Each structure stands twice: as C-alpha cells, then as structure tokens.
Amino acid sequence: MKRIILIALAGLSFASSAMAQEFQSSKLKWSMWGISSGDGLRVATGTDGAVVVSRKDSPWTGRVLDGEPLLIATAIANGRDIFVAGSTGGFVNGKALILRSRDAGKSFETSISGTGATIYELKFHNRTFGHASGVDGTLLRTTDGGNSWQRIATGTKSKLWALHFFNREFGLVGGGDTPWQNDDKSSGLIRRTIDGGKTWQTVHAGQNRISDFSFVDDRVGYAGGVGGTLLKTEDGGKTWTHLPKTPLGAIVNAVAFETPACGLIVGSGGTAYATQDGGQTWPTAVKVTNGSFLEDLHPATGGGYWVAAGDGTVGRIKLAC
C-alpha cells in the first residue's frame, strides 16, 4: 500500500486522512514561498527578505536580508551555493533580483539585479547551467554557475511562473495571468524551445495560469495551475491533455511526480494530495496547514519532498511509490 508521511521536525502536529500517518512540521515566523535542498543543505525563502537554512537534521535558522526584498524562489547549485530570487520592488512590478551565498547562507552577494522583472522561478539543471523566469516574459540563463546571466527572449509578455529545461537546447516555460492579480484577466500558456531559446512555439493556450512542471523523463510530464488544472504530456511537451480536475480547486502551485503513476500536488486549502493512477484520482490527503496556501515542493535528500507554506510551515512529505 502506498503511504505518505510527513517527517517530524518540531512544532505543530496535525492528523491526516486514511492513507497517511500523523505528522509534525516546523513553523517559521515568515511567509514561505520557495524551498530547495541538496547534499544535506536545506533553504526556504519568503517575505521581508527572509532566508531560513538547515543542515541535515539541525534546526532551521533564519535571517532577514538588507532591504527586505521579496524572495519567491530558491535553488542550490554545486551542492553548496545557495541562490535566492525575487524582486527589489514588488510581486508584480519589481525588478529582478538574484542573490548568491557561498557559505551556506551566512552572507549573500548580488548575482544579478535589475535585469528583467520580478523572478518567480529559479532552477539549476546541473552544476553550472540554470534558468530564472518571471514577470513580463522574463527568462534569464546562466552557463557558469551563476557568475553571469543572459536574458533570453521568450516572445511573450506573460508572467512566467514555471520552467523546465532538459538540456541547453530543449526546454519549456509556462505561465499566464490570474484574475486576482491582473484586473480580472485570466490566461494560461506553455511555450517550448528546441534551440536554446532562439525560437519558441506555443504548445498550450488556455484560461488557467500554469504554475509548475514536473517531468518523469524526457517525454512524460505534468503541469499544474489555476482552477485545479493538471495537464499531461507524453511527447516531451509537444502536446498536452487535460486530466480530471484536482481537489485543489483554486490553484495547483507545485507538482511532483516520481513515476508516471505516482505524484503529489500542493496549492490552495493547506492540504497536499497524492495520486497512484497518474492524476485520475487523489485518494490520499495530508493536512499541512489550517488553510494557508502551500507554495512550493522540492525533492528531499533521502526521499520525499520538502514543502513550504504561506503561514511559515515547512515540512517533509515522504511519498512511497
């Protein structure tokens, strides 16, 4: 039988539904938007310039960066360098900001500032190659481990919340507008490149913003978004099909599939849901918060996924596929 367990850290305790055990989670004082891990290092970022770090099983320790920037995304490169990203201005109208720490979060230096708009997503695909995406169609690329970044034209002005690159040539960006942030405008799109961003093709267009991608391999992948949307591709993102609407009726913020059948989604409502049949049904539910949005997922060293929530909750969900 498949199981979901939230590994105990410290703090609040909640009960979960039938196929899950009780769990505990840490509660931080900031609203957490992004989370990442690698080689025993964990980092979460959020509002008011908050950066919170933990090594292996040590307690989370936090600090507020100068200027209190909005830090929406984070990633770890080289197994040791922490990158945090967001903006110096605001959630929609800010300027791109990426900061780098070479000492596990004790100090930060500017990696990029002001090139492009607010950053929503940040991913390193190997030790040196990474991307950041955000408002106004912003897509930035580094090929030297974050020492320098170049802006890549995406052919859209949409807010890009999601990105996934398989290699330097082949990748996807996704995003769109949400009514509560864009004067009742609603849109969603996925664009695909096979030449490193020189040209792009729109492979999905709809009314629901795309928030996140998760690929099992170079062909099978999923995309979640507003309205409980979950899409699936079986050809590397050339075409996408709608799966049944998920229990996250307002929004799927993050998606994580370990196999084509076994996956996890988080978003509105404070509950994580798991599927064992490729997104057809979601029988397993884990209550993480008392209704506060779950913002991000990231694979955890040793298995499972770290989750970050808007009320400051961070925890580890173990998905046994």
Give per-residue pLDDT as tens, 233-247: 999 999 999 999 999
* pTM listed for this prediction: 0.91
Indicate the pLDDT class of residue 5, thresholds 50, 70 and 90. Answer: very low
Amino acid, single-letter form, for residue 229: T
Q: Could you report the per-residue pLDDT of 57-75, keeping only the tens digit for each?
A: 788 999 999 999 999 999 9
- What pLDDT was estimated at residue 9? 40
- What pLDDT was estimated at residue 181? 60
Indicate the pLDDT class of residue 4, thresholds 50, 70 and 90. Answer: very low
Q: Could you report the per-residue pLDDT of 256-276, keeping only the tens digit for each?
A: 999 999 999 999 999 999 999
276 vs 115, which has greater pLDDT? 276
Q: What is the mean pLDDT of the chain?
A: 89
Per the listing, tokens 């405008």 go with 185
